[in-house]
Structure 1
């Protein structure tokens, strides 16, 4: 390995537990400081919200760890969390990590069919599930309802944080796979330490910050940016679990004196559209953070003009969280998500092969050096997937980019067909597999369609089995079928009927040509 190439930030200690890293120091030095506020009613007084101090969080997490161990869950065992947007979700996630177990956070939006796949594929021995989120676990899986989850914290002494190694497994998340089935991404305990380049390379975070995150507890964007990083820095995290209403966010920023606000670009766009921000006191807000999808120049300028506040973008992936970003310490360059965060080794590699980074201005595959402590341990039981993403000392994320002479990254799209829907990565193969099972479908191909700058939707191009049938070209049954088998964010927004699909000489569907392939 080239001695000048690799991660140059401080490496984690050999013995490291992610939950301990996030909670123990603040619980000892500022035990009475509020660490977490959960708001259910944006219109209610501040004191009506759920408040947790660092001392209370530390004890609740370690009691949860003790409860899991008392159930017989040993170190390294997986448990799946299929719950709603409540503080119990966070306590169970961090409690499992504190015990040395491996939680699998899953989205409440998943259908029972999708959730069952994750449960079976992960080999989870325990399932924590909300009453309204049904699932039929296979034999041998212990099920905890919401009362059982709360009871984990009762009746026994808090467990000390597990003496885990930095490279021990910490949590398992699922993302889109190239085969059409979700694949598990296994992260190490050190992954929390691997987020340290974001502290000043994106957030500009301080212990006195109040960070309002717009995501649900079950999203890894929220678990990382909304909880892990604020707690590791002794800051206050604010999360909202009330009805989804875009008009609540300015109210929450004002009422809870948020200093940082994190969301996907689409939500910033909606906030500007449906709120008169001049009617709110946003003086406490230093700036906004955005990730999950590309930030358009128009939205960036509109937010700046309307609020007088900056927006700092980050680019990342499930396998390494964010590693490219803009920050208060670096001038924002419109059209670019920023530069490599301090300490990270990031490059553009030739698409056709090779390990030598391309010079500025040349487009290639975005790559992160394998020495980065934030990089995943690997894909869960998917060795064939790992072969596709590693090239020597580099991990390839699938994005086509170039770096300019000043180090700013310019995005050129995906080198594969993975789509971005509301900040979630979605494989077209998964959507195609679902729709192909409908009897009215002969062939189907799925892609993203741009509807305006910075906004795209998932569209399905369908060759009907019998277009002359009364329902042969009716989109409604296909959309109903999709929603019955796929999470809402994976479902196509548009069904386009075509006579045939564009194909290469070898018969492979050309998804990039679909937008021009209409009747």
Structure 2
């Protein structure tokens, strides 16, 4: 339908929610959550009720709504209910501090906040600092419970009509925002359009994962991140499949139990989780039934080859490693089913163009390290209120990822590190990832991150922050052992000159190592010597 001034009407809720009911899947389970099985018919009704609830409160097209929600059905109701009325949902991390939510709310100028009760209790004391906030809608386990100064999500929902006509949005309207994970500094509001989810579905999910109606998806990465939003929500809903939601933190035992209970066919994890799950099995000797899985997926950071091989040995299932970004919405380079090259990010996903360029913007030949840029129609409209960063990141059709990569002769892409993480040692570029992957092959190493540090002569050398496995004691002998281990497996100039043992690496909630925080730690240590 074409309306003058609107363009061709398009609303993402129509494809991901309504279409399944219209196609005869109304009685099929869309969401598995604890002991609930929510059908597509019920899902559509709840989405419509949420949209009507928001409309009754005065929300209109382009009004913004912050979501601080666990992975529960209410997340999906709110996300698509807002989109269906043309409002803009903004899911954010549930593991942040009150000052972070002050940033999200004030930066986005959201007039509404939908939040789980346990999270609101932490924010309520600083409510007066939220400049634009008009409504706090609280999701409580007890549907009849209400908190002073807030609205009850379930009470409002129960009163709302189950029929809802979508707002007259078009393909290029803003549909939702996501905040970048903050692995390189302050989170940035990333504006995604109505058509972006369909594009990611039709490229990566359909053509790489070969997702279909019989699949059942489980994402350890939470829905408020771009990776989890696809794997745990709009990929399965986009093909009439089912999703499994887990509210709890994605600890190894929790994920194994969810796999055994709900029998998903596709599991979405991150490298740190795969490493922790492998370590859990090796340490406890427990065995889990993961026979339902036909494929596993990894993103967020490069998957160490040792993790791939150990997982395959333990469970007989491939992990498809890939790279995506919040700005691109989902994965745009990936390994393929039956064509995995461990340690690589895989090949370009159909629908995305990929280049490796030098500092002048010239495309580089195979095996030369340069900056990764991509284009594809799921790339965001841009950042909210960041004019200068938009000019640097979104250049014409191309998105500058900020990662160093090279492509081999077979078209596989290999991650070398963030552009600002690369090290120049003795005049030669060194990838911190290569050193980290080497150290991870040592039987005593659980996690590792490598950064550059000056050696007192004005020269940069690699320093490794190492987390040892339980029961292994840090010592000067262990430090020397690890240095000699890397010398045996890498070129001599690449070995870490300094090793510091640390209890835990700083990470984002997606599991990305925040190397900039390690550099800040080094600066602090140098200042306070």
TM-score, length of structure 1 as denominator length = 0.75
The question of 1:174 aligning with 2:179 is answered: yes
Q: Secondary structure at the match of 1:206?
A: coil
CA distance in 1, matches of 2:381, 2:193: 6
Aligned partner (choices 339, 342, 362) of residue 334 of structure 1: 342
CA distance in 1, matches of 2:9, 2:175: 13
Aligned partner (choices 78, 82, 92) of residue 106 of structure 1: 92
Structure 2 alignment gaps of length 5 or more: 1-6, 141-151, 423-431, 442-446, 454-501
Residue by residue over 1:200-223, the C-alpha shift from the partner in whole angstroms, topping out at 9 and shown as x without a partner, is 443221210111111333333222
Aligned partner (choices 126, 138, 149) of residue 131 of structure 2: 138
CA distance in 1, matches of 2:39, 2:261: 19
1:266 Cα deviation from its structure 2 partner: 1.4
The equivalent residue for 1:453 is 440
The equivalent residue for 1:466 is none
1:256 Cα deviation from its structure 2 partner: 1.6
The equivalent residue for 1:117 is 103
1:236 Cα deviation from its structure 2 partner: 0.8
CA distance in 2, matches of 1:84, 1:393: 34
Q: 1:75-474 maps to which residues of 2 (within 5 A)? A: 75-133=61-119, 134=123, 135-136=126-127, 137-138=130-131, 140-146=133-139, 148-157=152-161, 158-175=163-180, 180-195=185-200, 196-242=202-248, 245-275=251-281, 279-320=287-328, 321-328=330-337, 331-350=339-358, 352-354=359-361, 356-369=362-375, 372-416=376-420, 452-453=439-440, 455-456=447-448
1:311 Cα deviation from its structure 2 partner: 0.9
Residue pair 1:111, 1:487 contacting (<8 A) in 2 also: no
Residue pair 2:111, 2:132 contacting (<8 A) in 1 also: no
Q: 1:49-64 maps to which residues of 2 (within 5 A)? A: 49-64=35-50
CA distance in 1, matches of 2:226, 2:414: 25
1:18 Cα deviation from its structure 2 partner: 1.7
CA distance in 2, matches of 1:178, 1:250: 28
Size of the aligned set, in residue pairs, is: 429
Q: Secondary structure at the match of 2:117?
A: coil
CA distance in 1, matches of 2:279, 2:184: 38
Residue by residue over 1:298-352, the C-alpha shift from the partner in whole angstroms, topping out at 9 and shown as x without a partner, is 1111111111111111201110021001121x511122110111121111122x2
1:488 Cα deviation from its structure 2 partner: 11
Q: Against the structure 1 CA distance between its residues 255 and 67, is the aligned structure 2 distance closer, same or farther, given a 3 Å change threshold?
A: same
CA distance in 1, matches of 2:9, 2:409: 40
CA distance in 1, matches of 2:383, 2:44: 30
Q: Secondary structure at the match of 2:118?
A: coil
The equivalent residue for 2:466 is none
The equivalent residue for 1:439 is none
Q: Against the structure 1 CA distance between its residues 15 and 278, is the aligned structure 2 distance closer, same or farther, given a 3 Å change threshold?
A: farther
Q: Against the structure 1 CA distance between its residues 459 and 85, is the aligned structure 2 distance closer, same or farther, given a 3 Å change threshold?
A: farther
Q: Which has the higher contact order (CA 8 A, sep 6+)?
A: 1
1:83 Cα deviation from its structure 2 partner: 2.9
Residue pair 2:105, 2:133 contacting (<8 A) in 1 also: no
Q: Against the structure 1 CA distance between its residues 409 and 178, is the aligned structure 2 distance closer, same or farther, given a 3 Å change threshold?
A: closer
Residue pair 1:339, 1:409 contacting (<8 A) in 2 also: yes
Residue pair 1:63, 1:156 contacting (<8 A) in 2 also: yes
Residue pair 1:66, 1:152 contacting (<8 A) in 2 also: no
The question of 1:15 aligning with 2:39 is answered: no
Q: Against the structure 1 CA distance between its residues 392 and 88, is the aligned structure 2 distance closer, same or farther, given a 3 Å change threshold?
A: closer
The question of 1:33 aligning with 2:28 is answered: yes
- Cα-Cα RMSD: 3.3
Q: Secondary structure at the match of 1:97?
A: helix
Aligned partner (choices 55, 74, 78) of residue 69 of structure 1: 55
CA distance in 2, matches of 1:310, 1:128: 38
Q: Against the structure 1 CA distance between its residues 392 and 84, is the aligned structure 2 distance closer, same or farther, given a 3 Å change threshold?
A: closer
Residue pair 1:83, 1:108 contacting (<8 A) in 2 also: yes
